[in-house]
Structure 1
Amino acid sequence: MKIYLIRHGEPDYAPVTNAGYTGFGRDLSSLTKQGVLQAQHCAEQPIFNEVQLILTSPYTRALQTATEIIRRHNLPSQVELGLHEWYPDKSGWQIKNCHQAMAAYDEYTTNHGQTSNTQDWDYETSTDIRHRVQAVFDKYQRYQCIACITHSEVIRQFGDWQRIGYCEVKVIQQ
């Protein structure tokens, strides 16, 4: 199966920040105007002529990106919880603000996505991410080609890509 991994468009965190949302509340961020344009431009790519299904993360920025693609191509879609972004706090209670989330991410990257004996944060490891997302892909093996709208840290688990731009497309074979 061919899978096009597509990062969502540029998010606008200002509304959720101004509303005082933290934790999962930040995942309600929609796209900026530029992010919408990025998604519309992505939708123009010829790859969608072979795509049979769009899978998308449940986060607003991914859903809005998928909407622009679906609107142009009238493709079937499925929201998959397992395509969410990396968890900086598996308990859901430890991290209270974006500064702590960034500290957890710094620790995650310092440890190359793995745990260590000295870690301060209970984050999801790169192995955890890969297993979670692979379980989603395994459900769709009957398709020859799908597109998956998700997040940069998820995409990184399936290739040697350091920097992934908004609405950038990567391809893998399963």
Structure 2
Amino acid sequence: MEILFVRHGVPDYRLCDERQMTQLEKDYAPLDRRYLDEIKALSLNPEFQNSSVVIASPYTRALQTAELINRELKLELFVEHDLREWRADLAGGYLDLQERDRRWHEYRQALKSGEPITSHDYESAAELKRRTLDVLERYQGYRKVIVVSHFNVLESLIGFQPQGIGCGQYYRFSLDDVRL
């Protein structure tokens, strides 16, 4: 199965920041309207033609990105809960930004080194990869799938990416290329 992985468009967190919302509340932030045309242009990219289905993370920025792409393509669009962001706190509690960043850097360092962290309060790369693969395996009957999700979801599949992938950019790979 060929996968066109799209990182969601640029979110607009201004209102969230003004109201000092938690990270969970920020997940509902919409896309920044100044960048919508960039997302719409993706659907016109020849690589996106002949896609079979669009699947998306449930977060607003991913859903809105998927919907904009799909306006032109007119495919089935599925929302998959397990394509969500990396979980910074498995207990589901509130983390201040400093602690979330500390955990994120520790997580990324472990991903880069390939050394699993044995004791952690957040989702491991292996756990993120497993839940993502569980979703993708349900779509193996499709030839080409557009996945709209988050950078850390992509990185869990293809490995550490020092340069990342920008908002509204895509990365093409095959499910067969993913190491289990």
TM-score (norm 2): 0.87
User: In 2, distance between residues paired with 1:115 and 1:21?
Assistant: 30
Residue 65 of structure 2 is aligned to residue 45 of structure 1: no
Residue 136 of structure 2 is aligned to residue 137 of structure 1: yes
User: In 2, distance between residues paired with 1:112 and 1:80?
Assistant: 24
- Offset at residue 116 of structure 1 (A): 4.3
Q: 1:151-166 residue pairs with structure 2 within 5 A?
A: 151-160=150-159, 161-162=161-162, 163-166=164-167
2:173 aligned partner, one-letter code: I
- 1:115 match: 117
- 1:101 match: 100
Q: Would the aligned equivalents of 2:56 and 2:62 in 1 still touch at CA under 8 Å?
A: yes
- 2:19 match: 19
Give the secondary-structure state (helix, strand or coil) at the position aligned to 1:111: helix
Q: Would the aligned equivalents of 1:23 and 1:92 in 2 still touch at CA under 8 Å?
A: no
- Percent of paired sites with the same residue: 28
- Offset at residue 20 of structure 1 (A): 2.8
- 2:168 match: 167
2:158 aligned partner, one-letter code: G
Q: Which moved more, 1:103-112 or 1:66-75?
A: 103-112
Residue 142 of structure 2 is aligned to residue 148 of structure 1: no
User: In 2, distance between residues paired with 1:128 and 1:35?
Assistant: 32
User: In 2, distance between residues paired with 1:98 and 1:11?
Assistant: 18
Q: How many residues align?
A: 170
Give the secondary-structure state (helix, strand or coil) at the position aligned to 1:6: strand
- Write out the 4+ residue segments of structure 1 that deviate beyond 4 Å after TM superposition: none
Give the secondary-structure state (helix, strand or coil) at the position aligned to 1:127: helix
1:23 aligned partner, one-letter code: Q
Give the gaps of 5 or more residues in structure 2: 176-180
Give the gaps of 5 or more residues in structure 1: none
